[in-house]
Amino acid sequence: QVQLVESGGGLVQAGGSLRLCCAASGRTFSSYGLGWFRQAPGKERDFIIGINWSGGSTYYADSVKGRFTISRDNAKNTVYLQMNSLKPEDTAVYYCAAAPFGGWSRKYEYKYWGQGTQVTVSS
């Protein structure tokens, strides 16, 4: 099992950047796929980015492709989300999640969740 804690959220103007971090506990961190989800008020939680255990494969939703980048550092048990060119529609609570058993590219594969961090983009 793995426990996840996000940090780095906040308020930023449109066009700005933020970097979210997700620190994980557990000795088997490197075996998990990792992803970022977001949930805006009144909407479903969307799967926006995933990365496999090695970092060699990634998935990006169309809404963030070209603006957001996921990376992971298995030595530090941390996954990062670099968000550039932020838009007001990116405003949401962002969740880090982990997928066991080789999963990483599909929403239903994610079993463990952080508590979420708020990102607000002002126009």
Beta bridge partners of 15: none
pLDDT, tens digit, 9 for 90 and up, residues 29-80: 888 999 999 999 999 999 999 999 998 999 999 999 999 999 999 999 999 9
The per-residue pLDDT for range 92-108, each reduced to its tens digit, is: 999 999 999 888 989 99
Per the CB < 8 A criterion, the answer to whether 83 and 20 are in contact is: yes
Query: Are the C-beta atoms of residues 104 and 33 closer than 8 Å to each other?
Result: yes
Does residue 120 carry a pLDDT above 90? yes
